[in-house]
Structure 1
């Protein structure tokens, strides 16, 4: 984002408030701040850049400053942009003390502070000190006049070969630097700003200004986090739904098959959320994600159970319908009919059990069906005259034992399923904790890196200030030594006695 002092002043003539807010917004939203001015860096140019001295009164880094109400400049450095000063129609030779210097060295020299505490010294130093404190990374480019004065009004129509060759080369160097070195806008905590996030930040800052408040980086990040984290939950759930929709075929042969697929997809889903989320205070949004994943797991388990029930019921109807029809016709209501009926039942049960993909309700639905036919089986048994009463009692006991055995088996299977569900919930919790811990470690490392970078920039600036002070003191001592040498080398005059 570029700040052009001439353009802003022409757009908002006499409205310094607008100028100051536009300057503050440009600082907040840009990753490389280009300040464009005419001529050399002198006091007039610094006076025109007075907005930089108002930044701490226009921007807050934290919602709650320190006890004394003052925020450390390091808080601003962490999200302030790189500073690039471009000087148009530059006419000076880049020299200092008779030696050639670079444009960057010219900028550094122009930002040197004066010794002294007078109001004039403070006025001179304040904008320079602010630039040095808030923008540790600075760059300067100079541009010759692009063409003859008479053609300046036609610049947009001129080709490169009609412009001054020095200017064309300088412009190419400038563009190359901007394209190569400008980074993605990054907020405190290493949060990269893309297009949608930029729009949210603009709206948040402007709303704060319109409400009479100050734009606050911390509040903006929290507002952005709420929007982004909500979207991250939806994105993660969409991934889960898509993957399960593609991979899950109901009914599954076992509950564990479904739970294993859910667990693998859940792991991917949490990863999707972690990549998109940030500043999730108290893991509010991660808990929302976990709750939605738990509900989807339960829903799929219910769908799986119903799909299995529907599949088994349809199979039983198809397989046992001929037998039921024979029973209605009384084919088995005769001497020796019971054994024929039992043999046919065993044959059809075997056929049913051999059918694939019946799912988790295969045994349960079969036992329900057999239980519903107990009265029919008992009627056929009692009408079979070839069986003695004792044989009939033995057969009744055998059927009761089979029914009890089947019920015990179903109870055991139910306990196993409950155990599997409990284990799955624990694994889900562990996966959330694991990925949250890893993300916190990454965020902590990134924050530490950011703090170290900010500290290094701050120490670099302090070192430069100390170096300037040392050089100034060195020059003062050299001047005193030179003055002493002049006094010592001055010829003495003879005294006249009277």
Structure 2
């Protein structure tokens, strides 16, 4: 999507249909489908009427856009979306998702709230939780949706209890960063008489209590989930934006000079933090998400929820990879065909030029495929692309041969036109006629060979042409009264030798062309392997970065638990860190490419020669059948 094509106002992305089911708005998905750039996705969630929309408008660089409302009625329904150029990351799009207020009494459907919260977690790279007043126990309990995430989201389709527990500990690898925004904050940032930062205030509010009673467990659960699931946490506390209640109801229409300076300063810090620190949305495995991928991801998750199933990260990635890899194959093949169409317009061309152009455009196609594809771990889609390119290559090769054959036959027909008139006039049916015939014919052959750009069938067509006229030459030879029988025999042997030599030239031409083609295919294969190796190294690096973020988060959590005396929790975290490090080592081994992809890629270099052989045998069969 070009800059001029960005949205001037938000649109509804996910809404409740007449049956109360979540559904994706087609007009919003079409907007995402048009965004080819990587996206940074920021979602805001929170209780209704807590001012979420104001923050999103400011992130969009606008005073208004997302509906603020000035009554106790919730204005935002479902999930609304606003896509704007990222203010600090060139070539990226900032996607803002404003969610329906949680806990709206008019809805009477807490399950819908749970799905809205889960979708915000699944779709965003940064999740902003908006609340009012202070981060007290009531505020934390209002975030009870975080404790339900294990029931609303699955990483894999594993159902075993131990695997499910391990799954939950892996949420930190794939969940967004977490920002808690506290609006209308009036307290001093002090704990036990000491000044603290906003982040320290949040961590203090998330401190766990020691003990094993149900009351303590209930108190700790939401706090543990926040600490356990999100890789990073940040807090911003906002003072009242204005002094009068009347102004609070019309924030959208107020100018900056009407707002409190302290409020504007925090708003500025908040926006700067989002712009600088919010990462590009990634899938499990670290693949960067474009607008089009995000649109497909929204559709997959909403369809899953609507069917009564629980969204699964693994399944979503598999479906997305299949859709994207199929599209990548088609885009890449189209790029190859488009490039070779220009070559086709210049047919006939030499084998050298033809294979050179084939190499160039097939390498471009591979590059295009690799840029868009992901998780083609067994090389199936790459193989599909290469097979399609090879089939097209063979077809074009045949068209080039046919163009060459037509041009060479037309050239010979034109060159022999005067000689054919002499034949019709009987100029060669006389004493010494054979010598005259050979002189004219050889001169024409020399002239034919001097003609440029005849293509790959030049010698083959000449060989066929001379063989076709062999009976004619033999007839003239035997009617030439000037020649003795012995001379005729010598001339006949010479004629046969010339035809044999011409046949050898044809075979030599075929051999050279085949060798050039094999060399070209080997070079193309090496280039393809190189590009695939780079792709897999990139994917392995993305996965390592994903693991590093998770390990860093777990180590930090472990240190905090150790300092606060939670020995049992520290031991559990130590085991989780060990598993994550083992997984990182497995990824670092990078054996996938060698074990899965190379066995598929290696036979591809023989694909074109094998196809050529099959086509050649088919041609021979057809010729024999026609005879």
Counterpart-to-counterpart distance in 1, 2:237 and 2:347 = 70
Query: Which shifted more, 407-416 or 291-300?
Result: 407-416
1:239 equivalent among 321, 331, 335: 335
Alignment check: 8 A CA contact 1:87 1:143 kept? yes
Residue of structure 2 in register with 1:62 after alignment: 156
- Matched residue of 1:239: which SS? helix
Do structure 1's residue 252 and structure 2's residue 353 form an aligned pair? Answer: no
Q: How does 1:291-370 map to 2 (within 5 A)?
A: 291-370=387-466
- Matched residue of 1:469: which SS? coil
Q: How does 1:18-417 map to 2 (within 5 A)?
A: 18-64=112-158, 68=162, 69-147=164-242, 148-246=244-342, 249-253=346-350, 255-417=351-513
Q: Structure 1 unaligned runs (5+)? A: 472-498
Counterpart-to-counterpart distance in 2, 1:266 and 1:451 = 35
Query: Which shifted more, 419-428 or 77-86?
Result: 419-428
Residue of structure 2 in register with 1:484 after alignment: none
Inter-CA distance 136–430: structure 2 relative to 1 (3 Å threshold) = closer
Counterpart-to-counterpart distance in 1, 2:550 and 2:381 = 30
Counterpart-to-counterpart distance in 2, 1:98 and 1:470 = 25
Counterpart-to-counterpart distance in 2, 1:199 and 1:457 = 29
Query: Which shifted more, 294-303 or 103-112?
Result: 294-303
Alignment check: 8 A CA contact 1:208 1:214 kept? yes
Cα shift readout 1:170-226 (whole Å, capped 9, x = no counterpart): 212212222222221111211111211111111111111122211001110111001
Counterpart-to-counterpart distance in 1, 2:535 and 2:245 = 59
TM-score by length of 1: 0.90
Residue of structure 2 in register with 1:10 after alignment: 104
Counterpart-to-counterpart distance in 2, 1:417 and 1:136 = 59
Residue of structure 2 in register with 1:480 after alignment: none
Alignment check: 8 A CA contact 2:329 2:382 kept? yes
- Matched residue of 2:564: which SS? helix
Query: Which shifted more, 93-102 or 398-407?
Result: 398-407
Counterpart-to-counterpart distance in 1, 2:286 and 2:416 = 67
- Matched residue of 1:8: which SS? coil
Structure 1 runs of 4+ aligned residues shifted over 6 Å read none
Counterpart-to-counterpart distance in 1, 2:476 and 2:410 = 25
Alignment check: 8 A CA contact 1:12 1:18 kept? no
Alignment check: 8 A CA contact 1:61 1:71 kept? no
Alignment check: 8 A CA contact 1:26 1:33 kept? yes
- Matched residue of 2:388: which SS? helix
- Matched residue of 2:240: which SS? coil
- Matched residue of 2:174: which SS? coil
Q: CA RMSD in A?
A: 2.0
Counterpart-to-counterpart distance in 2, 1:445 and 1:191 = 10
Q: State the number of aligned residues.
A: 470
Cα shift readout 1:137-157 (whole Å, capped 9, x = no counterpart): 111111111211232222222
Counterpart-to-counterpart distance in 1, 2:188 and 2:457 = 90
Deviation, 1:427, is 4.5
Query: Which shifted more, 182-191 or 428-437?
Result: 428-437
TM-score by length of 2: 0.72
Cα shift readout 1:225-257 (whole Å, capped 9, x = no counterpart): 01110111112112222333345632223x233
- Matched residue of 2:166: which SS? coil
Higher helix share: 1
Inter-CA distance 470–293: structure 2 relative to 1 (3 Å threshold) = closer
- Matched residue of 1:23: which SS? helix
Q: How does 1:434-453 map to 2 (within 5 A)?
A: 434-453=530-549
Alignment check: 8 A CA contact 2:114 2:148 kept? yes
Alignment check: 8 A CA contact 1:316 1:352 kept? yes
Cα shift readout 1:8-67 (whole Å, capped 9, x = no counterpart): 322863211000011001000011111111110111111110000000111001122566
